[in-house]
Amino acid sequence: MDRMADFLLLKIILVGDALVGKTCILQRYVDHSFDHSYVSTIGIDFKVKTLHVNGRFIKLQIWDTAGQERFHTISTRYFRGAHGLLIIYDITNVQSFDNVVGWTKDVDTNAGENVDRIILGNKCDLEDKRVVSKEKGQQLAWEHGMKFLETSAKENINIEKAFSILVEDILKKN
Ligand code: GDP
Ligand code: MG
């Protein structure tokens, strides 16, 4: 755990298939915006957000995969030193849901089993295109001992909540 002055620096990483909404979730959380245009390459590795929680200043360094996930070979450097993870699928894409298990294994190998993690079923605003039920998401998370939320980066549903639950869980250990 790095302590810079009174700041606690926490590294959070986003994983999941291409197009599930990782970059939009990050943009929504940090920049309070949703860009409808396709935002596949953003050319940066992470964004920083500062929080004040229980009298402590927390600097969140949130990493986005910037397209590497397309090749299913995310460099181990990306996982190194992570405190928390958001594993994301798209409720309108069953393949992205089936791949969550694979991402979980990647995470176990590269980030260690002690890293806090939450599964997010994103795009919950697209109810008419839903192919993965909320129950299936909850069941999968339960099987892997993880928390679960459905989110929408577009409609700003549960985005703040996802990060705040993750940070709370991390802070319990730090
Ligand atoms: P990434 O490849 O995982 O980073 O996915 P992006 O953030 O680039 O998003 C992929 C596509 O999904 C874009 O066209 C976004 O506009 C769209 N998208 C992302 N989040 C949502 C959401 O919550 N709801 C809807 N309806 N579309 C979303
Ligand atoms: Mg992206």
Q: How confident is the model over 71-123, as pLDDT tens digits?
A: 666 777 788 899 999 999 999 999 999 999 999 888 888 887 789 999 999 99
pTM above 0.80, yes or no: yes
How many angstroms separate the CA atoms of 75 and 2, rounded? 22
Question: How many degrees, rounded to 5, is the angle at CA 43 between CA 39 and CA 45?
Answer: 105
Find, among 67, 59, 95, 91, the residue nearest to 157 by Cα: 91
Q: Is the pLDDT of residue 1 over 90?
A: no
**117 close to ligand 1 (CB < 6 Angstrom):** no
161's enclosing H/E stretch is helix 159-173
Question: Tens digits of per-residue pLDDT, 144-154?
Answer: 999 999 999 99
How many angstroms separate the CA atoms of 63 and 78, rounded? 8
**CA 6 to ligand 2 centroid distance, Å:** 32
Ligand nearest to the CA of 127: 1
1, amino acid identity = M
Ligand 1 atom closest to residue 16's alpha carbon, by position in its atom list: 3
Question: Which residue has its alpha carbon closest to ligand 1 atom 24?
Answer: 123
Mean pLDDT of the region 155-173: 96
